[in-house]
């Protein structure tokens, strides 16, 4: 999402290879980027004296833990996408956790029904709109309306950000309506569905499109100047609208974590999880990456707070994951990524 990432299953980033004098440690396997994870872990170690040994994996997290079997040293499994998280659960690589701190802090729709996984932060799938456009609200369903013909920018329909959105639509509306909706989105494209979310902001600034679909945290990165002066200027030409589904909420993706099924240091793994939903840790998520905290008592970054109150859609993440493959097939069936206007 932002930093240079090492590749390959065997890539390992050891933040701390030696535990403290008491021997307390947690072994974290994570797909979260080192630049975001490190300050959280350092704060945890400073507060508790428990060291964290980190293995960073861009891909193949489930496969590695599965291959290691009961001898796996993994205590906590952290991911940037709910699909990976739920895959870990489905493969039997996690265990349910009984923690009042976690269940009282994290809303029910942001944790597994059996407490096998827990969300740690959220990103909303929002609408970028030209700042002078007379538009204050919009639904995802509205994006297929003819009024947006040749005015919409969006990245590839096969990107996980979009397949999650499309899968949610599929569960809510069924296959026939979803196909028609995707055809409407395709017809409304101002250019080929490609690039990244920030390219939508760039193309709004250039007058190529009037609205674009993008993730909320990119706006923070652009507005703050973290992406450079060009991206900051793109952000100045747009506003953000929190869309919803009809009779629903806003699509969100989450970062999250689960305790490994054979965690050798289970108690300290739970301790780390509980720390990650504390206001201190949630503030780091909010400030470092412009994400939505999952704790209702944690403060939003001011840039993100300006978007208004986020009401996440209540579609179970498990249902979204179960329908991603069919959503992806529909994307190909309507030739979503082929520009024909």
- Answer yes or no: is pLDDT of 10 > 50: no
The structural domain count of the chain equals 2
For residues 95 and 243, membership in a common domain is answered with no
Residue 120: what pLDDT? 95
Q: Are 114 and 130 in the same domain?
A: no
Domain presence at residue 1: no
Average pLDDT value for the chain = 91
Q: What is the pLDDT, as a whole number, of residue 277?
A: 95
Same domain, 290 and 280: yes
Look at residue 281 and tell me whether its pLDDT is greater than 80.
yes
Q: Is residue 163 part of a domain?
A: yes
**What is d(CA 301, CA 286) in angstroms, rounded to the nearest whole number?**
6
% the chain with pLDDT above 70: 93
Res 340: pLDDT: 78
pLDDT of residue 330: 98
**Which residues have a Cβ under 8 Å from the Cβ of 298 and sit 6 or more positions away?**
279, 282, 283, 286
**Do residues 87 and 275 lie in contact, with contact meaning Cβ atoms separated by under 8 Å?**
no
Average pLDDT over residues 276-286: 90
Do both 263 and 149 map to the same domain? Answer: no
> Does residue 57 fall inside a structural domain?
yes
Does 146 lie in the same domain as 100? Answer: no
Q: Which residue has the tokens 């456009």?
A: 133
- CATH number for the domain spanning 64: value is 3.40.190.10
Predicted TM-score of the model (pTM) = 0.87
SS3 180: helix
Where does the pLDDT of residue 341 fall: very low under 50, low under 70, confident under 90, or very high at 90 and above?
low
**305 lies in some domain:** no
Could you tell me the pLDDT band of residue 22, with boundaries at 50, 70 and 90? very low
pLDDT for residue 5 is more than 70: no
Q: Is 161 annotated as a binding residue?
A: no
Same domain, 235 and 164: yes
To which H or E segment does residue 165 belong?
helix 160-173
pLDDT tens for 81-115 read: 899 999 999 999 999 999 999 999 999 989 998 99
Q: How far is CA 179 from CA 10, 175, 305, 327, 331, in A?
A: 40, 6, 34, 9, 8
* 238 is a domain residue: yes
pLDDT at residue 3 in the model: 27
Task: Supply the pLDDT for residue 35.
Answer: 73
Vertex 141 angle, CA 135 and 143, to 5°: 55
Residue 307 lies in a domain: no
- pLDDT classification of 247: cutoffs 50, 70, 90: very high
Residue 289 has a pLDDT of: 85
Q: Answer yes or no: is 12 within a domain.
A: no
Would the pLDDT of 4 be above 80? no
Compute the half-sphere exposure of residue 96: CA atoms within 13 Å on the CB side of its CA: 7
Specify whether 137 is located in the same domain as 175.
yes
Which tokens in the block code for residue 216? 């909320």
Condensed to tens digits (0 to 9), the pLDDT of residues 251-269 reads: 999 999 999 999 999 999 9
Q: Where in the sequence is the domain holding 141, given as residue range(s)?
A: 124-250+313-333
102 & 135 share domain: no
Residues 157, 233: one domain? yes
Q: What is the pLDDT of residues 202-239, one digit of tens each?
A: 999 999 999 999 999 999 999 999 999 999 999 999 99
Which residue intervals of 241-308 are DSSP H helices? 266-276, 279-289, 302-305
Residue 292 annotated as binding?
A: no
pLDDT over 90 percentage in the chain: 82
Kindly state whether residues 78 and 184 are assigned to the same domain.
no
Q: pLDDT (tens digit, 9 = 90+) per residue, 292-309?
A: 999 988 989 999 999 999
Asked whether the predicted pLDDT for residue 16 surpasses 60, the reply is: no
Query: Do residue 79 and residue 38 come from a single domain?
Result: yes
| Per-residue pLDDT reduced to its tens digit, 162-211 | 999 999 999 999 999 999 999 999 999 999 999 999 999 999 999 999 99
Residue 145 domain-assigned?
yes
Q: State whether 234 and 246 are in the same domain.
A: yes
* Residue 331 binned pLDDT confidence (cut-offs 50, 70, 90): very high
pLDDT at residue 23, as a whole number:
54
């Amino acid at each position: 999402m932002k930093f240079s990432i090492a590749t390959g299953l065997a890539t390992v980033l050891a933040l701390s290879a030696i535990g403290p004098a008491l021997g307390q440690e947690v072994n974290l396997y994570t797909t979260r980027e080192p630049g975001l994870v490190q300050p959280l872990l350092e704060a945890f170690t400073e507060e508790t004296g428990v060291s964290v040994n980190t293995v960073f994996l861009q891909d193949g997290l489930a496969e590695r833990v599965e291959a290691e079997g009961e001898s796996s040293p993994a205590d906590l499994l952290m991911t940037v996408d709910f699909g990976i998280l739920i895959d870990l659960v489905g493969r039997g690589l996690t265990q349910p956790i009984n923690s009042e701190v976690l269940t009282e802090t994290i809303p029910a729709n942001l944790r597994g029904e059996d407490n096998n996984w827990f969300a740690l932060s959220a990103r909303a799938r929002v609408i970028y709109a030209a700042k002078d456009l007379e538009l204050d609200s919009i639904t995802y369903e509205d994006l297929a309306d003819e009024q947006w013909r040749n005015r919409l920018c969006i990245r590839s329909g096969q990107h996980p950000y979009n397949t999650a959105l499309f899968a949610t639509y599929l569960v809510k509306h069924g296959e026939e309506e979803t196909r028609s909706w995707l055809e409407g989105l395709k017809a409304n494209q101002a250019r080929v569905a490609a690039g990244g979310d920030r390219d939508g902001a760039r193309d709004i600034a250039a007058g190529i499109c009037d609205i674009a679909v993008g993730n909320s945290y990119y706006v923070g990165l652009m507005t703050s100047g973290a992406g450079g002066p060009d991206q900051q200027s793109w952000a100045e030409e747009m506003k953000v609208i929190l869309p919803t589904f009809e009779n629903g909420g806003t699509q969100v993706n989450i970062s999250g974590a689960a305790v490994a099924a054979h965690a050798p240091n289970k108690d300290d793994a739970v301790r780390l999880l509980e720390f990650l939903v504390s206001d201190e840790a949630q503030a780091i998520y909010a400030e470092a990456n412009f994400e939505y905290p999952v704790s209702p008592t944690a403060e939003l970054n001011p840039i993100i707070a300006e978007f208004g109150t986020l009401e996440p859609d209540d579609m179970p993440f498990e249902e979204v994951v179960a329908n991603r493959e069919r959503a992806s097939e529909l994307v190909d069936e309507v030739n979503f990524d082929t520009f024909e206007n």
